[in-house]
Amino acid sequence: MAVKLKVNANMPSKSQAQERLMAAAAHNPKFAKKVGVPTKVAKEFNKADTGVKLKSLPKRVSGRGR
């Protein structure tokens, strides 16, 4: 029995570095392929970041989702 997960469309960036990477990947498919981020995912992040004060985010977050 397969379970289909629903992707959360409101997933803003966790750091300034992630925001810059997702913005670049959303606007440049060649770069998105290079860094291994699907363009669709990058566009979702970019859309979720509208209205977020990026200066309030940390510059970088250590770890890989742990």
pLDDT in tens, 5-56: 445 557 788 899 999 999 999 999 999 999 999 999 999 999 998 887 878 8
Interacting residues of 44 by C-beta distance below 8 A, sequence separation 6+: 7, 9, 11
Interacting residues of 14 by C-beta distance below 8 A, sequence separation 6+: 57, 58, 61
Domain count, the chain: 1
Question: 61 falls in which pLDDT band (50, 70, 90)?
Answer: confident
**Residue 34 domain flag:** yes
* pTM attached to this predicted model: 0.74
**Residue 5 domain flag:** no
Cβ contact 42:26 at 8 Å: yes
Encoded amino acid at 5, one letter: L
**Residue 6 domain flag:** no
**Residue 28 domain flag:** yes
Question: 65 falls in which pLDDT band (50, 70, 90)?
Answer: low
